[in-house]
Each structure stands twice: as C-alpha cells, then as structure tokens.
Amino acid sequence: MTDPQNHVLQTGATIGILGGGQLGRMLSIAASRLGFKTCIFEPAGDCPASHVANYHYKADYSDTDALTKFANACDVITFEFENIPTDALDIIEAITPIHPNRAALATSQDRFSEKNFLTRIGLQTAPYAAVETGEDLEQAIDQIGIPAILKTRRMGYDGKGQSRLMSPDDAVQAMTDMAGAPAVLEGFINFSVEVSVIGTRSANGAISCFDPGENVHRNGILHTTTVPAKLTRAQRTDAVLLTANILNALDYVGTMGVELFVTPTGFIVNEIAPRVHNSGHWTQAGCAIDQFEQHIRAIAGWPLGDGSRHSNVIMENLIGDDVNRLPDIAKTNTAIHLYGKADAKLGRKMGHINTVTGASA
Amino acid sequence: MTDPQNHVLQTGATIGILGGGQLGRMLSIAASRLGFKTCIFEPAGDCPASHVANYHYKADYSDTDALTKFANACDVITFEFENIPTDALDIIEAITPIHPNRAALATSQDRFSEKNFLTRIGLQTAPYAAVETGEDLEQAIDQIGIPAILKTRRMGYDGKGQSRLMSPDDAVQAMTDMAGAPAVLEGFINFSVEVSVIGTRSANGAISCFDPGENVHRNGILHTTTVPAKLTRAQRTDAVLLTANILNALDYVGTMGVELFVTPTGFIVNEIAPRVHNSGHWTQAGCAIDQFEQHIRAIAGWPLGDGSRHSNVIMENLIGDDVNRLPDIAKTNTAIHLYGKADAKLGRKMGHINTVTGASA
C-alpha cells in the first residue's frame, strides 16, 4: 500500500515528466500554476513540453547518465505516456519516486494484462484471447467469433497496430499486420456510445472523478468529447464507482482515463490509460481544477479538487490540417490550445479547442 | 494610426516579453496556448516568467548587445510593466515592433501626463497639480485642498512613492518622502467603491472589454476583485465605453487596466495601466479567453475573444505570508495560481486564487 504519510511537496519543488508531448506540456503548465518547477525528459529537441518547462533533458531513454541526472534533479517523477522502457524506469525509480506506480504502468502497457486485471476485479471487457500464432488466432476466432479486431498487446494508440477481421479470410492479413508482435483478439462490442471517466486518486486514497464525457472518434482518433454525456444518473454513478474500483485496485496515485462502452447490459471497459487523457481536456474549460492539475496535486501529495463542473463543454481535437481552420476558430469565443508542433502531419494532434456551451445543470 | 493591414503572427512565431514577473509568466503561458514561442527579457535569474518560457535573456536593460539579440529573436515584443528605460525601448523598437505603443507607455509612465491625457479626452480625474518644490506644494494645497495625497509622477506602484496629507503641517514630511522626485498632488475622492475594467484593442481597432470587477485594497495593495461588480446596467455600459474611449485615443494595441472610482457624479479615472492588470486575473476562471490571451491575440494580430463571462468569480491575492494558508486553500475547489517566487516577503505578490461563485446571470 501507499504510505499515507506520503511526503507533501512544497511549492518550489521540481516535478519530472517523462515525455515531451502535449500531455507533458499541459502537465507542466499545471505544475507551474502550483508553483512547482518542471523538468522534461524527452529525446526530441523542440518538443511541446520543453516550451513551457524549466528544464529539458534532451536524451535517449537508453542514456543512463542522463536518466540519473534527471532523476536527481526531480523531487517526484511522472509520465505522459505508458510505453516507457522498463530499464529506464528501473534507473529512475532507484533514485526518485515515480507516480503512478510501476504495477499500474505494467498492467496498462499490455492489452492482455489489462483485460485480465479488469476481469479479475469483476469488470466487463470485450471477449478477448491472446494471439501469438496463426493457430492461436484460429482458436480465438472460434471462441470469440467474427467480426473481431486483432490488436498488438503493446505500443498501440490512436488505432495504430490494429487489424479488423470481418471474415475468417482476413486472418492471414491480420497476422501479417501484427508483424510478429504478440497480439490480442477482441470481439466487437455492440455499443450505443463511448464515454470516458477521468479519475484521480491521491496517495492517501482519496478519489475524485470528473463527470463522464461522451466521445466521438474519427479514423480511430478521438474527435470530440461532450460534457455532460447522455447518461442516466444511475449510469453516471456506475461509471464513477467503476473508475474508483480500478484506481483502488491498482493502488494508483495520479489521474487515469477510463474508456467505457455503453451497452444494454452495462458498461464494458474498453481501455484504461495510466495518465491524463485526451478525453479529459474539456476539464480545462469546465472545472476550477482540471485533470492536469489533479494529476500534479495527486503526485505532489496535495489535496485533490472535488471534480465539480461549473460549465458544459464540447472539446474538439485539431488533427493534422484541422489547424487550417484556426483563423475561423479564432473568431469565435472558443478556448484554443495549440501544442507548438511545427508540422501539421496527417493524423497528428496539433491542438484542441474547448467551447463552453452553458452553465452546468 | 495603426496599419489595419497589420501582420498576423502565425503559430510558431516568437513573442518577446520585457519583464519576468508574474504578469510575464501568465502572458507567456497564454502565448504558449496559442502555439507561440516566448522569449523573456529580465535581469533577474530565477524569475517567474522564465519558468514557463522558451527563452530567457538574462541581462540588464543597459545591455545593448543583449537587447539587440533579444529583439532579433522576437517577431513582436510586449511588456509586463510600464517603467522600461526609454533607451532600451529605442534599441528594441528599431528592430521589432512593440505593442502597446510608446505613446501609451509614455502617457501612463507619468501620473501628470496621464491625468492631462484623461482630462483632454473628457474624462474625470481627481483634482491634481504638478509639484516639484515646496512652493508648488503650497499652491497645490490651496488649489486642491486637504486631505490630499502626494505621489511621485513616476515609478510608483502598490502604494509606494505616496504620502498622505491630512493637514497642511504634513507638507514638509510629504516633500521629504518624495526625495526630490517630481510629484503630483491629488485631491481625495469620496468614492463608494473602486471598480476596474480590463479592455483590449486589436490592431484593426476592434475593442473587447471584460465586465467590470469590484476591487478591495489592503495596505495599498489589491486584495480582492469580485465579479460582477455592484453596478447598475447603465454604469457597466459607461465604464466600458469610457475604457474604449481611452483605448481609441491612444491608438492602443493590447490589454489595458482602467481603475475607476464610483462617485455620485459618475466615474473618476484613478489610474490606467498599459498592460494586463492584477484586477483582471479573475478572467482566468470566468471567461473562455482571459486577459492574458486577449493581450497576446491583440499584439499577434489575431481576432479578440468577445470578453463574455460564463461564471462569477472572486479573485484574491496571496500577499507575503498569505501563502501559509495554502494547505487550507488547497482543500477547497479554488483555482490556485502561484508565481514560483522563492521568498514570501512582506507585501510581495506570491500568487492569487480564483473562486467560481456561480454561473453568470
């Protein structure tokens, strides 16, 4: 268990963030609001988080010396992505605490482990089976049925590392798509809508969740999150309790994103992310204390905000050349968040916008 | 006049900020949200703005070489305080545009010029007279009466450089307090309340003002700003029109703070500040686009937000050892903004908090 006497970081302390993308950028800004200094570890030079951080260790995750210096410079360390090399974590953790913990990271780094964990704590997932060989896939298809989706166990995000099977004939192509990587076959879920809950747990076990948001994807990438989601009061309660269940089971410290499919038989957990989450960006406009600050508060041993929402919000991602719409967007009363990325590549998250649509009911 | 074909800065451009305090810090964060890079010029090393900026030129305002390099590194330059040495501005402006313009800066750097300007455009100020000698002061007292307050014409802020005259006997002490600096005697105003309007003007002349906030001071330093202010609809309209009048008359580009005394005979302009203003910090919690982003939008040639307020807010400054209350404040659902200053000296602005008190009516 986490020590309830967890050290409370004083303002002026340094928070380390592994990863220099937009999540690291917004975490860094949130940390600065609380008077913390920030230190980014990221191999890329002109990265989004480095623009707003005190320090940037520009080094590879295999650079033991740089990792050691980074860890020594920080009072606590967190991360913006789940695929951090284990060796790097070993080096860092020997020097400075990392939140969320390694177990949470290990669980969510691997789709199969994640689904096993969720099943173990009594939550529903899509039917799933591990697949390493063509024979595994055949058996899995027999067990789960078609249509289904084959996904790499590790390193997948935004629809990458996935292959759909609409008929058994697609099996060969799907195995080719995995390129030899261990995979998991997931049955299709007949869901009406996807929602996500952003929850935070502090070191002393306090939990605070934001209202569920309703997600719409395009081309496998989150397009919009709308709050409030169209859920009944009972569903909202269920979604939050389920998220608390996950946070407690992992003895988690920090903010987590939990994606849920809404089905006639209840929620099915699609995915958990051991970090701040794109579907929680709306909290910047809807809450006094947003998901980024909640995360920083949790890892710093501070009390959490209560997660209450003062406004309804629609968050929309700006993907690739969506940024060409900026001149028009800037004419509206919408909060713009750009990530400082130079090239608007296809499918690249360039920024997001938050539109307040009214006071919360 | 400003060229209406003013250059529109693209994201990725660099915004220079003279001054590395908390206003520079929050301007820098706002600029980063719009995808701009930021460059701070500030002699002090570990300054608040440097923690969140891309670049920090740590050099003195007399360092011609550093000023030149700074100006060359920026696409547009602005400032967080009005007392920038003229020579430094000359060097910078020869290379890169500065907003707001020099005339606005010159006007507001000098209390006497400021009051002359306000009077010229038809606004009410406290009765005032320039004072350089003891004889000037005697004449001024005859003209204005007692009680009155003697203030240095330049470099005063947060009640510094001021001396109260409650009787003619205080004249000698007041002159001593001025330490030979040119001063202005101001008559006392019998006002019910102080409000301020934060207004922004873009290069093409568009103006957007936030709702007036009601200010309470303690020991000459702003303590709280409450929005909405207790004003009639007609008063709110007057306050905004008056602010627009000032912005237009100065051909101003950027955000300005206008402090107004509410009296039975209308508004009396206490002071104008050619920059974002402490009494506008509430906009971070009450508006989709806050005063800092409005300023950045204006100087970057972007469209302004409409200034609309979605929530009522009370902003409270954390001065000196007010920060000792942080553990309790952190337990409430209040947005905390700390400035990253190491020492909580007496009277030093360490941060502020914004509490949302409800949806705007």
Task: Write down the H helix ranges in chain A.
Answer: 22-33, 64-73, 86-93, 102-109, 111-120, 134-144, 171-178, 233-249, 283-286, 291-299, 326-329
Above 80 in pLDDT, residue A269? yes
* pLDDT score, position B360: 83
Binding-site sequence positions of A: 111, 151, 156-162, 186-189, 194, 217, 270-271
Chain A: residue whose CA lies nearest to B22: A33
Rg (CA), chain B: 20
pLDDT of A4 > 50? The answer is: no
Percent of chain B with pLDDT strictly greater than 90: 88
Chain B positions in Cβ-Cβ contact with residue A11 (cut-off 8 Å): 323, 326, 338, 340
Reported as a single tens digit per residue, the pLDDT across A128-140 is: 999 999 999 999 9
pLDDT given for residue A301 in this prediction: 96
Give me the pLDDT at residue B158, please: 62
Q: Which of B53, B333, B342 lies nearest to residue A288, judging by beta carbons?
A: B333
Is the pLDDT at A160 greater than 80, yes or no? no
pLDDT in tens, A138-148: 999 999 999 99
pLDDT confidence of residue A1: 33
- pLDDT at residue A2, as a whole number: 38
Write down the residue that tokens 């700390």 correspond to.
Answer: B338
Chain B touched by A352 (CB under 8 Å): no
Q: Is B351 on the interface with A (CB under 8 A)?
A: yes
Query: Tell me, what's the pLDDT at B6?
Result: 55
Q: Which two tokens stand for residue A213?
A: 């948001």
Please state, in angstroms and rounded to a whole number, the distance separating the CA atoms of residues B28 and A350: 19
Size of the A and B interface in Cβ pairs below 8 Å: 107
| CATH, domain range A14-98 | 3.40.50.20
CB contact under 8 A, B351 and A51: no
Residue of B nearest to A306 (CA): B333
* Nearest Cβ partner for A356 among B310, B333, B340: B310
Q: Calculate mean pLDDT across residues B319-342.
A: 95
The 10 Å Cβ neighbour count of residue B146 is 17
Instruction: Go through chain B and tell me how many residues it has.
Output: 361
CATH class of the domain comprising A127-187: alpha beta
**Distance between CA atoms of residues B357 and B314, nearest Å:** 7
* Model pLDDT, residue A309: 94
B 36-75 residues inside an 8 A Cβ radius of A: 36-38, 50-54
B130 contacts chain A (CB < 8 A): no
**pLDDT one-digit tens code per residue, B89-135:** 999 999 999 999 999 999 999 999 999 999 999 999 999 999 999 99
Range B168-196 average pLDDT: 92
Q: Are B337 and B280 in contact (CB under 8 A)?
A: no
Q: Where are the domains of chain A?
A: 14-98, 127-187, 193-359
Nearest-CB residue to A285 (from B288, B331, B356): B288
The pLDDT value given to residue A155: 77
pLDDT band per the 50, 70, 90 thresholds, residue A156: low
Is the per-residue pLDDT at B65 higher than 60?
yes
CA distance A114 to A106: 9
Helix H or strand E segment including A315: strand A311-319
The predicted pLDDT at position B7 comes to: 76
Where in B14-172 does DSSP place strands (E)? 14-18, 37-41, 55-57, 76-79, 128-131, 148-152, 162-165
User: pLDDT class for A161, splitting at 50, 70, 90?
Assistant: confident
Q: What is the dihedral of CA B55, A283, A106, A51, to 10 degrees?
A: -10
Average pLDDT, chain A: 94
Strand-pair partners of B55: B39
What pLDDT was estimated at residue A360?
83
Q: What pLDDT, on a 0 to 100 scale, did the predictor assign at position B4?
A: 42
Which DSSP string corresponds to B121-156? TT-----EEEESSHHHHHHHHHHH-SSEEEEESSS-
Answer yes or no: is pLDDT of A86 > 50: yes
B chain contacts of residue A33, beta-carbon cutoff 8 Å: 335-338
Does the pLDDT at position B354 exceed 90? yes
Structure tokens at B104: 């606005």
Q: Is B336 on the interface with A (CB under 8 A)?
A: yes
User: How does residue B180 score in pLDDT terms, banded at 50, 70 and 90?
Assistant: confident
Which of A340, A354, A356 is facing B32, going by the closest CB pair?
A340
pLDDT of residue B157: 62
> Is residue A320 pLDDT above 70, yes or no?
yes
Q: Which fold has domain A193-359?
A: D-amino Acid Aminotransferase; Chain A, domain 1 (3.30.470)
Q: What is the mean pLDDT of residues A71-99?
A: 95
- Distance in Å, alpha carbon of B98 to nearest chain A alpha carbon: 22
Please indicate whether, in this complex, the C-beta atoms of B51 and A32 are within 8 angstroms of each other: yes
Q: How far apart are CA A348 and CA B83, in angstroms?
A: 43
Phi, psi of A73 (to 5 degrees): -80, -10
From A324's Cα to the closest Cα of chain B, the distance in A is 11
Percent of chain A with pLDDT over 90: 88
> What strands lie across the sheet with B162-165, from one edge to the other?
B128-131, B183-187, B148-152, B162-165
> What does the pLDDT read at residue A359?
87
**A337-352 pLDDT tens trace:** 999 998 889 999 999 9
Q: Residue A206: closest CA among chain B residues belongs to which residue?
A: B331
Greater confidence (B41 vs B168) lies with: B41
From B282, which residue of chain A is nearest by alpha-carbon distance? A288
Q: pLDDT by residue (tens digit) across B292-313?
A: 999 999 999 999 999 999 999 9
Q: How far apart are CA B270 and CA A303, in angstroms?
A: 40
Instruction: Please name the member of A53, A326, A359 whose beta carbon is closest to the beta carbon of B310.
Output: A359
Judge whether residue A297 has pLDDT over 60. yes
Query: What is the ipTM metric for this complex?
Result: 0.91
Q: Does A323 touch chain B (CB under 8 A)?
A: yes
Q: What is the mean pLDDT of residues B149-160?
A: 80
pLDDT digits (tens, 9 = 90+) for B127-138: 999 999 999 999
Q: What are phi and psi of A261, to 5 degrees?
A: -90, 135
